[in-house]
Amino acid sequence: MTQTTGDSAVRSTTDVERTVAAVWRIESGKIVATLTRMVGDFGFAEDLAQDALLDALKQWPVEGVPRNPAAWLTAVAKRKAIDGWRRQERLDDRIAVIAHDLDREQADAADADPWDPDSIDDDLLRLVFISCHPVLSREARVALTLRVVAGLSSEQIARALLVPVATVQQRIVRAKKTLAAANVAFEVPPREEHPARLGAVLGVLYLIFNEGHAASSGTDWMRTELGVEAIRLARVLVGLVPKERDAHSLLALMELTAARFLARTDARGKPVLLADQDRSRWDRGRISRGRAALAAADALGGRTAYGLQAAIAECHAVAASVDDTDWEHIVVLYEALGRVAPSPIVELNRAAAVAMATGPASALRIIDELAASGALRDYHLLPATRGEMLSRLGRDEEARSAFAAAAKLAGNDAERALLEAKASGQPV
């Protein structure tokens, strides 16, 4: 059937919209960072970038996509800044210099290759540190990072975090106001502040990835797209700070863990536990990249918490089966992790590894001590893991009771259904 002119126009517009979305997703962080350096105001810079994006949606379907779309967006946003200053009668030598430089940049961009998404500069590093600034709440850091560094829309962030769009928008607006009120400078923090500030950045990426790996609520057990986005941001961060071992370690942990994503659910989206996963579906490319990142981290010094977690993930990744896994080494790694970053969750994970290395009875003693301490009173995986140990010991009635208690605490629908099935004695 012949395509009508109207249909062709719709198709063309749709293709351009996809191009705009792709460019924004890849380049938004760099664009906003460049603009922030120019205008000295993070919130104003993002507004300028968004206005330029609207111009692209209007003009590119008519005029065609420019050869260097990211440079086009940046130039348009800079023009808007200059026009705004002119309207405010801020006509000074600074504006004249910027306008002159912009004309030269646009002339150079006409023949330049498109921006390389793997090319990193200091502006983007400054933007990452601003988005994860300690003056912001954890929720605000996550939302702002996904918005300005990852280039996700408020709607996409809301879907990923399972919160209303209005909530995301409010968090972002409040974050910008907080940064402005705190007069946060557009700069890489002094070297003596790097460990603490980089830790905040890594912590945000870790939170985003964990929510993708095991959704805390909702109907889906995983939010794969969120985990993949965290990995992309971690790769960017490694490019920004190639000498920081924790950046490599976190990337390694993410890659090695995400290698199992495809095998963690069945065709209906139901959870598939590690022992039952088809290991031929594990992503060997991710495993290879994860091991390379861990080796890079090890070359930079001893293992910290992220490195130890990555090493545990590596043990799983290289094993041909659950039985073939080096559980004794995993127990040792968890013991080291417990000394580096002690927490009851680490102890619970160690108990699960102990069960595989020496049997469920010794693991149950560790779990019962944790339960008695009350540290994980509302954590569903404590009774869930206890139920597994009791089941392996043949104490089926107690196991079903533990699974039922875990199901009541689970916030994720898919995980709750799995625990309820175990509580009722159904095969899973």
Q: Establish if 39 belongs to a structural domain.
A: yes
Q: Please, how many CA atoms are within 13 Å of residue 389, restricted to the half-sphere of its CB? A: 26
Q: Which of the two residues, 217 and 3, has the higher pLDDT score?
A: 217
Give the position of tokens 């810079």: 45
Structural contact between residues 128 and 187, judged by C-beta atoms closer than 8 angstroms: no
Mean pLDDT in residue range 356-362: 96
Mean pLDDT in residue range 338-353: 96
Amino acid of residue 62: V
Q: Looking at residue 101, what is its pLDDT?
A: 56
Residue 19's CB: how many other CB atoms inside 10 A? Answer: 15
Q: Which of the two residues, 86 and 371, has the higher pLDDT score?
A: 371
Q: Looking at residue 6, what is its pLDDT?
A: 42
pLDDT at 90 > cutoff 90: no
Write down the H helix ranges in 183-259.
194-213, 224-240, 245-258
- What is the band of 104 on the pLDDT scale with cuts at 50, 70, 90? low
Residue 40 is given by DSSP the state S
Q: Establish if 216 belongs to a structural domain.
A: no
Each residue's pLDDT tens digit, 70-85: 889 989 988 888 887 7
Cα separations (Å) of 232 from 34, 117, 118, 146, 229? 20, 11, 11, 11, 5
Q: Establish if 301 belongs to a structural domain.
A: no
Q: Looking at residue 396, what is its pLDDT?
A: 95
Average pLDDT, rounded, for the chain: 86
Q: Looking at residue 9, what is its pLDDT?
A: 47
Q: CA-to-CA distance for 66 and 193, rounded, in angstroms?
A: 41
pLDDT at 12 > cutoff 70: no
pLDDT at 211 > cutoff 90: no
Residue 96's domain spans which residues?
A: 9-112
Q: Looking at residue 95, what is its pLDDT?
A: 53
pTM check: above 0.85: no
Mean pLDDT in residue range 159-183: 88
Each residue's pLDDT tens digit, 223-255: 888 899 899 989 989 988 899 999 999 999 999
Q: Establish if 86 belongs to a structural domain.
A: yes
Q: Domain count for the chain, please give it.
A: 1
Mean pLDDT in residue range 380-395: 96
Amino acid of residue 408: K
Structural contact between residues 401 and 372, judged by C-beta atoms closer than 8 angstroms: no
Most trustworthy range by pLDDT among 11-15, 39-43, 285-289: 285-289
Mean pLDDT in residue range 302-326: 96
Residue 12 is given by DSSP the state H
Q: CA-to-CA distance for 285 and 386, rounded, in angstroms?
A: 35
Q: Establish if 336 belongs to a structural domain.
A: no
- What is the band of 353 on the pLDDT scale with cuts at 50, 70, 90? very high
- What is the band of 121 on the pLDDT scale with cuts at 50, 70, 90? low
- What is the band of 89 on the pLDDT scale with cuts at 50, 70, 90? low
Q: Establish if 198 belongs to a structural domain.
A: no
Each residue's pLDDT tens digit, 270-292: 899 899 999 999 999 999 999 99
Residue 359: phi and psi, rounded to 5, are 115, 160
Residue 425's CB: how many other CB atoms inside 10 A? Answer: 12
Helix and strand numbers, DSSP H then E, in the chain? 19, 0
